[in-house]
Amino acid sequence: MIESEFDSASSDVRNLIDNIGKVILGKHALIERSVAALLSGGHILLEDRPGVGKTMLARALARSIECPVKRIQFTPDLLPVDITGYFDPRTDTFRAGPLFTSIVIADELNRATPRTQSALLEAMGEGQVSVEGNTFKLPRPFLVVATQNPLEYRGVNDLPEAQLDRFQMLLSPGYPGEEEERQILKQRQGMDPLDDLSPVVDGPRLNELMDLVLKVTFKDTLVHYVVDLVRQTRESTELLMGASPRAGLTLMHLSRAYALIQGRRYVVPDDIRILAPDVLAHRIMPRSAPEIGMNLTEWRAALVRQIIQTVRPPQS
């Protein structure tokens, strides 16, 4: 019974990845990581230059799942009640904000004020929203896919560490390859390719897949490996601040989902090594400035890769 569950899940996950790949060309690894975050119940922060497909990836992921989706354009004048909702003083009834959905696309999150950014904290961490002393549960699944541009400094507010820590992964799409860029131009001569994208997984099935991720085997030797990696970030002389225990939990859950995507019922050390930079980089603070030609995110990821090389993985 379990084996047939995993076979069916593998097929559904592949369909989901292939569907997103119809729109996001040449970014297979990025799509796999995004789907792994979705299946493990995490939130994604997409950070890169303008025009490289951050919002397109978020929209393609949302379009591939048959569940409610809301898009929020974050601006400096956006208030917390604009996203959480409010009590109507005329009727004393609660009017739910756009957070009450399954997938939230938070565009240009770092353009909002810190107060509005913090309104996401409880929703992302606890799956609930508190308004005027009343607590409201958010639906399951609940996923935030946020975007930000790391190159602009006017009119933006950097996300604080507490906010960054709520994101399971920080991903950078990067520029497409030469052939992929040609295909993008050909693909977009007419209609928006998203218009032809149909859902391949519905909400109930997505919940079943999320439950199945918890059945993926994670050996004790891998627990020790994750702890060693996380603790090494705290002991590194290159860092002022290392990763928290939450980072280790995130890496463990995410690697289970990634193993399922690869068609396995068990996690291997390479799953952890592949995902660690995306999970740990935004949770550390370097002592030195980035090297020439690197932004802070790239520098952090480079430091995490150096740490990975110092920690010996288990043999099996």
What are 152-208's pLDDT values in tens digits?
555 577 787 778 888 999 999 888 889 988 888 887 777 778 888 999 999 899 999
Specify whether 170 is located in the same domain as 234. Answer: no
Specify whether 137 is located in the same domain as 243. Answer: no
Positive/negative CA dihedral, 258, 253, 200, 24: negative
So what's the pLDDT on residue 159?
80
Taking only the tens place, the pLDDT of each residue in 241-251 is: 999 999 999 99
Average confidence (pLDDT) over 44-59: 88
Specify whether 230 is located in the same domain as 159. Answer: no
So what's the pLDDT on residue 175?
87
Average confidence (pLDDT) over 221-242: 94
Tell me: pLDDT of 147 over 80. Answer: yes
Specify whether 38 is located in the same domain as 167. Answer: yes
Tell me: pLDDT of 278 over 90. Answer: yes
So what's the pLDDT on residue 127?
87
Q: In Å, what is the CA distance from 311 to each residue of 97, 229, 276, 307?
A: 45, 6, 12, 7
Tell me: pLDDT of 45 over 70. Answer: yes
Structural domain of 268: 216-310
- Domain assignment present for residue 78? The answer is yes
- Domain assignment present for residue 68? The answer is yes
Q: Which of 62-76, 140-154, 181-195 has the highest average model confidence (pLDDT)? A: 62-76
So what's the pLDDT on residue 110?
87
So what's the pLDDT on residue 152?
56
Does the pTM surpass 0.85? The reply is: yes
Q: How many angstroms separate the CA atoms of 199 and 207, rounded?
A: 15
So what's the pLDDT on residue 301?
92
Q: Residue 237 has which token pair?
A: 């002389």
- Alpha-carbon torsion angle 27, 188, 143, 150, nearest 10: 70
Q: How many angstroms separate the CA atoms of 26 and 46, rounded?
A: 17
So what's the pLDDT on residue 295?
81
So what's the pLDDT on residue 155?
55
Query: What 8-state DSSP symbol labels residue 143?
Result: E
- Domain assignment present for residue 189? The answer is no
- Domain assignment present for residue 39? The answer is yes
**155, 76 Cβ separation under 8 angstroms:** yes
CA 176 to chain centre: 20
Number of domains in the chain: 2
Q: How many angstroms separate the CA atoms of 59 and 57, rounded?
A: 5
Q: How many angstroms separate the CA atoms of 68 and 98, rounded?
A: 10
